[in-house]
Amino acid sequence: MLLFKRKRLLLASACCVILLLLTPTHGESNSEQSYKMAQPLEVISCPLTPKLSSQLKLHAFLLWFSVGFLMPIGVLLIRLSSNAKDAKSVKRLFYWHVGSQIVAVVLATAGAVLSISNFENAFNNTHQRIGLALYGFIWLQPLVGFLRPNRGSMRFRSAWYLTHWLLGIGVCVVGVANVYIGLLTYQERTGRSARMWTVLLTVEVAAMAFVYLFQDRWNYVVRQEEAAALGDEQSEGSSSMYPANDHKETVVVVVP
């Protein structure tokens, strides 16, 4: 029930963020907005040069590898730690999680610097608006992670966990969605098909979503097997403590 509520809250939060980003600014008139929407992307953007094309591809790779790959991998790693058998495995998975998220933040920052220094930043399209909000949440997430309270304070720990979880999943979901939007923008900008990259991204997202959902079921299966094994051990132990008395007792009666 708690997981279902979290998923509903995450979906509602993502919808609110997207609606806010899609809302037009007050400084633009309706005629200007309709004119920009009617014009092709090549008209309202700077001319595409080979150098700019390479920069667009590098920007797309950096953002895909950070928010579309490393951050979801970090989510899967920290979920694996809950099913680890020993403290050493938990610690190793935790450090892998932290390392993957640090590399993801560095790559996303490099992608942001590349876009700010080389691209037009009018923020008059969906991809740029979502990207701007995403950069802020990407930097907020590690800050929340480093401010983790001790396990003794259960109230603050629960609030921290929910905030950290929502930010992590939200960044992954919105980030992948913006990668799709970026591929569409690249296709419109260059006139080249991005269908192959879209298909590959879809396959990757589907595989990670399957692993994410399968982890819960796998944890349930492991717990059931452990409970069954524990029940068998207890039944064997009770049998050894109280062995069955199958032999017949012989009573000798002495007649005087």
CATH code assigned at 149: 1.20.120.1770
CB 144 within 8 A of CB 181: no
Asked whether residue 35 is domain-assigned, the answer is no
Q: Which two tokens stand for residue 94?
A: 């935790």
In angstroms, the CA 221 to CA 218 distance is 5
> Could you tell me the pTM of the whole model?
0.67
In the chain, where does DSSP find H-type helix? 2-22, 30-38, 41-44, 50-65, 71-80, 87-118, 126-146, 154-190, 195-241
Question: In which domain, by residue range, is 191 found?
Answer: 50-225
pLDDT at 234 over 80: no
pLDDT at 218 (0 to 100): 72
Give the 3-state secondary structure of residue 253. coil
Question: In which band, very low, low, confident or very high, does the pLDDT at 47 lie, cut at 50, 70 and 90?
Answer: low
pLDDT at 94 (0 to 100): 92
Question: In which band, very low, low, confident or very high, does the pLDDT at 233 lie, cut at 50, 70 and 90?
Answer: low
The Cα-based distances of 230 to 83, 95, 238, 244 in angstroms read 17, 32, 12, 22
Asked whether residue 10 is domain-assigned, the answer is no
Query: At how many degrees (to 10) do helices 87-118 and 71-80 cross?
Result: 170
Asked whether residue 33 is domain-assigned, the answer is no
CA-based R_g, the chain, Å: 28
Asked whether residue 58 is domain-assigned, the answer is yes
Asked whether residue 109 is domain-assigned, the answer is yes
Asked whether residue 80 is domain-assigned, the answer is yes
Indicate the range of 6-20, 70-84, 116-130 predicted with least confidence. Answer: 6-20
pLDDT at 167 over 90: yes
Mean pLDDT of the region 197-213: 93
Number of domains composing the chain: 1
Locate tokens 């569409």: which residue? 184
Q: Which two tokens stand for residue 18?
A: 């997207």
Asked whether residue 166 is domain-assigned, the answer is yes
What average pLDDT does the chain have?
76
Asked whether residue 252 is domain-assigned, the answer is no
Question: In which band, very low, low, confident or very high, does the pLDDT at 243 lie, cut at 50, 70 and 90?
Answer: low
Q: Which residue has the higher pLDDT, 151 or 107?
A: 107
